[in-house]
């Protein structure tokens, strides 16, 4: 994949991103020395074909939804049928992904997440300005994203999490454009769902 398919995020851009507390599958690893230059110079590592499959299906679904809007006006019955087929394909892909991946098939950590970065608690001190590779799996879409970025801060907060007392913040400085778009959509979707839940009337 060409380098232009990736982008960086400026400080101003990151400040404009919405943030949420979210339950995700999360892993990270430190990148040392020459590994940083190598990471920036080559396509981001994708864990397996299942992630690429879900990415492609997600892209095709967005394209088909745009086309369905036009079809609905003149052929509403056909549009409903095509929409059902799209839902079936999406459900099948998620099921295959779940079957292939039991280890990271469910959330393992709550993080503070935006399209510009992530903050999380860990049991080890991570030096600021260290470079970190982050793997995220979002739910319920099960989309997996791998990105790189520097540690902004590492704070000792034992009162918040005694077993993992270090709060670490990482900027997503280098990410695929479509992954950043997916993160933006994911965060906005979670926010909208939360807002709807708060507006819902209480049962009698």
User: pLDDT digit string (tens) for 153-191?
Assistant: 999 999 988 999 999 999 998 888 889 999 999 999 998
Q: In sequence order, which residues have a C-beta less than 8 Å from that of residue 45 and are 6 or more positions away?
A: 133, 146
Nearest 10 degrees: Cα torsion 138, 143, 149, 154:
20
The pLDDT tens digits of the residues spanning 94-143 come to: 666 666 555 566 899 999 999 999 999 999 999 999 999 999 999 988 88
- Is-contact 119 146, C-beta < 8 A? no
Predicted TM-score (pTM) above 0.85: no
Contacting residues for 126 by C-beta, under 8 A, at least 6 apart: 30, 132, 151, 154, 166, 168
Chain centroid to Cα 189, Å, comes to 12
Q: Is the pLDDT confidence value at 92 over 70?
A: yes
Instruction: Determine the pLDDT at residue 172.
Output: 94
Question: Model confidence over 21-54: pLDDT tens digits?
Answer: 999 999 999 987 556 555 544 444 444 445 566 6
């Amino acid at each position: 994949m060409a380098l232009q398919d990736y982008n960086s995020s400026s400080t101003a851009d990151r400040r404009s991103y919405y943030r949420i507390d979210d339950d995700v599958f999360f892993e990270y690893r430190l990148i040392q020395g020459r590994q940083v230059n190598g990471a920036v110079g080559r396509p981001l590592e994708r864990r397996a074909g299942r992630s690429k499959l879900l990415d492609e299906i997600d892209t095709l679904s967005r394209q088909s939804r745009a086309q369905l809007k036009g079809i609905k006006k003149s052929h509403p019955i056909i549009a409903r049928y095509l929409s059902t087929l799209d839902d079936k394909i999406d459900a099948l892909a998620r099921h295959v992904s779940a079957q292939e991946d039991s280890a990271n098939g469910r959330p393992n950590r709550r993080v503070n997440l935006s399209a510009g970065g992530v903050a999380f608690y860990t049991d080890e001190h991570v030096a600021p300005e260290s470079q970190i590779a982050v793997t995220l799996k979002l739910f319920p879409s099960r989309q997996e994203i791998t990105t790189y970025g520097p540690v902004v801060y590492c704070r000792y907060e034992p009162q918040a999490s005694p077993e993992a007392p270090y709060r670490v913040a990482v900027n997503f400085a280098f990410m695929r454009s479509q992954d950043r778009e997916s993160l933006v959509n994911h965060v906005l979707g979670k926010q909208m769902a939360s807002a709807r839940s708060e507006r819902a009337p209480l049962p009698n």
